[in-house]
Amino acid sequence: MDKIKVGIINVTGYAGVELARLLHQHPEVELASVTGRSAAGQSLSEVFPHLAGIDLTIKTKLGDVGLVFSAMPHKESAVEIIPLLEKGIKVVDISADFRLKDGSEYQRWYGFSHPAPQLLAQAVYGLPELHRAKIASAQLVANPGCYPTGAILALAPAVKAKLVVPDIIVDSKSGVSGAGRTLSLTTHYSEANEDVSAYALEGHRHLPEITQELKLLNPELPPAVTFVPHLIPMTRGILTTAYAPLASGKKGIEEIRKLYLDFYKDEPFVRVADSPPHTKQTWGSNLCLVYPTVDQRTGKLVVISAIDNLVKGAAGQAIQNMNLMLGLPEETGLEAPAIYP
Ligand SMILES: NC(=O)c1ccc[n+]([C@@H]2O[C@H](COP(=O)([O-])OP(=O)(O)OC[C@H]3O[C@@H](n4cnc5c(N)ncnc54)[C@H](OP(=O)(O)O)[C@@H]3O)[C@@H](O)[C@H]2O)c1
């Protein structure tokens, strides 16, 4: 049987090029077409020598494919995707353009008026651990943001079980590839190296996504979330530490671990770790490691999660979603363990 042809819009960014690397190893699909404005006309391997095994020329327009990944910046992504949807093509959007259900939130958080708010209800939030069945029948999947992936997976079992009261703190540290390949002073080597800083204290764009999904898990208890992201000098990875007061009379460490183990027992890409996870244990893999514990002195749940922002936080999760949309086993092409050291 012929392999299903897939394409990547914007292979020249970090999320796009990581998709190309992972799709090259996928046994059931063929990466048949890639676009990228700055490198149009060049071969993929010329621009990215680590992809020397892929014989493709970067174009300005996609060729004929059955499923498209858009790895465009937000706002631009929707413009590319809308005509594809009209043609009946399946799409996984790695940008934020279809993640939020409330169209008015785009003006507030992203500074643009959404061009197709009617599509927001149809788009499925692509976190398979929460929305697997809907993803399988979706035409448009909105791949979650990198920070929300780590934060939601850290908190979902506790919020669903009403284990915590809604005063949640999410403290995340991201490597610099989270800011993309476009050059900026913030991610310049001499600025970012040997430095750690918090940013977006007035409210990061990923906050509405985190609260939207936690609210769905427990609609009676709208979560109040303080989210503070940090930039740290490593290339890949997000470590999240989430804190929330335990509801009174709730559970000790062993019961909470059991709740997490039960919640994730059938999940191929979430593992409840035996010790606090390191980002390096997820490097290059689609794994999210989660470690729940309790601060006995303050009665707070503390959950640590680790992901690779470019894999479970972007390209790997997008392929996990594609597998579901195409009726393939969810792990296909994503089985490789993390790289160590
Ligand atoms: N990095 C992550 O960890 C991560 C995780 C989850 C989701 N995402 C999302 O994935 C998408 C891509 O992110 P990224 O990190 O891969 O970004 P990136 O590395 O900065 O890539 C962005 C690329 O987009 C192209 N571009 C910029 N403005 C454009 C425009 N107006 N029209 C067409 N192309 C434009 C540029 O490529 P050319 O120079 O070739 O035009 C640029 O290199 C974003 O929506 C981001 O939010 C990223």
The pLDDT of residue 250:
67
Work out which ligand 1 atom sits closest to the CA atom of 182.
20
The neighbour count for residue 317, using CB atoms within 10 Å, is 27
Distance 262 CA to ligand 1 centre (A): 37
What is the rounded distance in angstroms from the CA atom of residue 287 to the CA atom of residue 207? 22
* Sheet architecture: strand order including 238-245: 197-198, 224-231, 167-174, 238-245, 300-307, 288-295, 270-272
The neighbour count for residue 232, using CB atoms within 10 Å, is 16
Is 146 one of the annotated active-site residues of the chain?
yes
Tell me which DSSP letter residue 113 carries.
Answer: -
What's the token pair of residue 173? 């540290």
The pLDDT of residue 109:
97
The pLDDT of residue 145:
98
The pLDDT of residue 66:
97
Q: Note if the pTM is more than 0.85.
A: yes
**Atom 1 of ligand 1, residue of closest alpha carbon:** 178
Residues framing ligand 1 (Cβ under 6 A): 10, 12-16, 36-39, 71-74, 76-77, 94-96, 145-146, 177-178, 180-182, 309-310, 313-314
Q: What percent of the chain has pLDDT over 90?
A: 95
The pLDDT of residue 304:
98
Please, which residues bridge with residue 93 across strands? 70, 142
10-residue mean pLDDT series, the chain (341 residues): 94 98 97 97 97 96 97 97 97 98 96 96 98 98 98 97 93 97 94 97 97 94 91 98 88 92 98 98 98 94 98 98 98 97 92
**Atom 29 of ligand 1, residue of closest alpha carbon:** 73
Tell me which DSSP letter residue 330 carries.
Answer: T
The answer to whether the Cα torsion of 75, 77, 82, 83 is positive or negative is positive
The pLDDT of residue 166:
83
Instruction: Give Cα separations from 204 to 52, 210, 221, 335 (angstroms).
Output: 37, 10, 22, 32
What is the rounded distance in angstroms from the CA atom of residue 186 to the CA atom of residue 179? 9
| Residue-range domains of the chain with CATH | 4-144+313-325 (3.40.50.720), 147-309 (3.30.360.10)
The pLDDT of residue 115:
96
